[in-house]
Structure 1
Amino acid sequence: MGEQDPYIMTITEQLAQLKEAFAAKYGSAPTHAAVAPGRVNLIGEHTDYNDGFVMPMAINRSVVIALRPRTDRHVNIISLDFDQPITFALDGLTKEKASPTEYVKGVAWALQEDGYELSGFEGVMKGDVPIGSGLSSSAALEMAAVRAFLACIDADWQPAKFALLGQKVENKWMGVNSGIMDQMISAAGVADHA
């Protein structure tokens, strides 16, 4: 086996960094971690939203959120990648200008639209899926956020259902005409399989 690429952190390394940052910010350890990978598409680029065939594959770059549930309905996430924290209340969600906050808010909106009674959480987030590179950083953020919210309420993971929910976030909340491929592979991808 070759040497590890020094520009890619393993999930274990990311979690260690997030746990340290979480303890520094919130004074104790996180209780959960939510992880979702980016993807490459081997065949069929831009055909999923036209009912065509695709062949995506999860990659070893991901978005990771270390978190702890709150007793109220506020979400506070410190991102190690962005200067602006992600903070909002789960009640009365309204869309603002496009930002990483909007993807997480959009997930909360879609989950609540689907009948989930969410609780807030505090977290620290890091991702190594390059933004704007065609590796689905937004889908990875959406699926990590879904997993984070579900962890707080002890709800079951249903990959196809939550991939569709992520697509709804893109289409209805973010106003992006996207298919299901990105969210589906981030939600249901299996290591070493296309």
Structure 2
Amino acid sequence: MSSRHATLRRTFSAQFGAMPMWLVRAPGRVNLIGEHTDYNDGFVLPMAIDRDVRLALAPRTDRQVHVFSLNFQQHDHFSLDDLQLTTTSPWGNYLRGVAWALQGAGFELTGFDAVMEGNVPIGSGLSSSAATELATVTAFRALGNLTLDAVQAALLSQKAENDFVGVKCGIMDQYISSLGQAGHALLIDCRSLGFEAVPLPAGVQFVIADSTVRRGLVDSAYNERRAQCEEGARRLGVPALRDVSLAEFERRAPALPDLVAQRCRHVVAENERVLHSVAALRAGDVTAFGRDMDESHTSLRDLYAVSHPVLDTMVEVARAVPGCLGARLTGAGFGGCTVSLVVNACVPAVVDALQREVARRTGLTPQIYLSGAEAGAGIILGE
């Protein structure tokens, strides 16, 4: 039994006077390439990581949900017959939202007692919210023997976040948390919602570095860039930037306002980079994939203007270490994390450089997470 499992069981017993019947999990994620393409009907390539949200639970008979969060050291409870947003325990809104979405889709739910714990760092851009949602779906699915598949689970989790919690996220985070496969990234077509597992090569590892800079400007900047992309697509006469090739875009870019052209150039090129990266991975060409990561960061920094000086420093430091094949910011930007593709033998040197040199140059010490590609949401233990 893992120490996390033991802690969940011990805490459940202390909180509820019994032992849990089920233990479920759902992972966070890192996006390897394909940034700010999702809301332009484009392509993304995330992988599920080995950090997750876990729920230890047992059923109730009164349609109540009672949850104790180990991370927040806080209780939350609600009735499945009266789902309202709460301001006292905002983390509980993700569980409420999932219950609301599932019941809205016609599923009969069973109440439960639960202890929740996660080691996906909150606010880092590794998607603790989607992990919470998919862990909650998995809990309801286990208790009620619900017949919904992994795609439905992801779509209803996204609906919960969009329409109940009120965060207008795309589908990537929920898809990868639900549909992740061990040893694979997931190519997602954000228009068709089609997906394809892409095997990751042996001999390399992804080093995720959390800058500890939190993304204070992301909402207004996100809305501004989304509007600029929509303006570009409208001026180009296409439904979305996904419908323009890079060659065609370069022919027509002079007719766009300069700033709009910059933003659109990133998105159009980034979509091509994702598809090129997938081809490189399938061919085992990790060097080409690393170059795509490098180009992605440069584009996010110079054209989309969503980087941050600390992120740029982290990317520079990682790239300077032999064996680092590529590095980029990951997530919306303005803080959060970088991800670096590193030859296995060189991982310790990259980690050391990120911790020492970034601290020397910025005063901040990144938190480092090493992860392979993990499986999506599921039941760890259950009756």
Letter in 2 for 1:80: L
Matched, 1:124 2:99: no
Normalization by structure 1: what TM-score? 0.90
CA distance in 2, matches of 1:105, 1:119: 13
For 1:105, the aligned partner's letter is R
Question: Counterparts of 1:12-23 in structure 2 under 5 Å?
Answer: 12-23=2-13
Residue matched to 2:19: 29
Please tell me whether the aligned partners of residues 147 and 157 of structure 1 are also in contact (alpha carbons under 8 angstroms): no
Alignment partner, residue 84 of structure 1:
74
Helix, strand or coil at the partner of 1:62: strand
Distance 2:184 2:148 in 1: 20
Aligned residue in 1 for 2:50: 60
Is the CA contact 1:19–1:66 (under 8 Å) kept in the aligned structure 2?
Answer: yes
Deviation at 1:27, TM superposition (A): 2.0
Q: CA deviation at 1:28?
A: 2.0
**SS of equivalent to 1:41:** strand
Question: Greater Rg, structure 1 or structure 2?
Answer: 2
* Partner deviation per Cα, 1:28-50 (whole Å, 9 max, x = no partner): 21111110000000011222232
RMSD: 1.4
1:90 and 1:108 in contact (8 A); partners too:
yes
Structure 2 residue aligned with 1:6: none
Q: How many residues align?
A: 184
For 1:110, the equivalent position in structure 2 comes to 101
Give the secondary structure class of the aligned counterpart of 2:39.
helix
Which residue type is aligned with residue 154 of structure 2? A
Partner of 2:174: 183
1:72 Cα shift?
Answer: 1.1
Amino acid at match of 1:15: H
SS in 1 for 2:50: strand
Q: Tell me which residue corresponds to 1:142.
A: 133
Alpha-carbon separation, structure 1, partners of 2:66 and 2:86: 17
Secondary structure of the equivalent of 2:26? Answer: strand
Identity of aligned residues (%): 55
* Offset at residue 192 of structure 1 (A): 2.0
Once the two structures are TM-superposed, the CA of residue 83 in structure 1 deviates from its matched residue by 2.9
**Paired residue for 1:73?**
63
Aligned to 1:51: 41
> In 2, Cα distance between the equivalents of 1:91 and 1:50?
37
Deviation track 1:64-113 (CA, whole Å, cap 9, x = no partner) reads: 00000101100001111013212111112122337111000000000000
Q: Does 1:172 align with 2:163?
A: yes
SS across alignment from 1:184: helix
- Runs of 4+ off more than 4 Å: none
Q: Which range is displaced more, 105-114 or 184-193? A: 184-193
The residue type equivalent to 1:152 in the other structure is L
Structure number with higher helix proportion: 2
Report the CA distance between 1:157 and its aligned residue: 4.8
Q: Counterpart of 2:90 in structure 1: which amino acid? A: S
| 1:143 match: secondary structure | helix
CA distance in 2, matches of 1:92, 1:13: 36
Distance between the aligned counterparts of 2:137 and 2:36, measured in 1?
24
Q: Where does the alignment leave 5 or more consecutive residues of structure 2 unmatched?
A: 186-383
| Partner amino acid, structure 2, of 1:183 | Q
Indicate the residue corresponding to 2:362 in structure 1: none
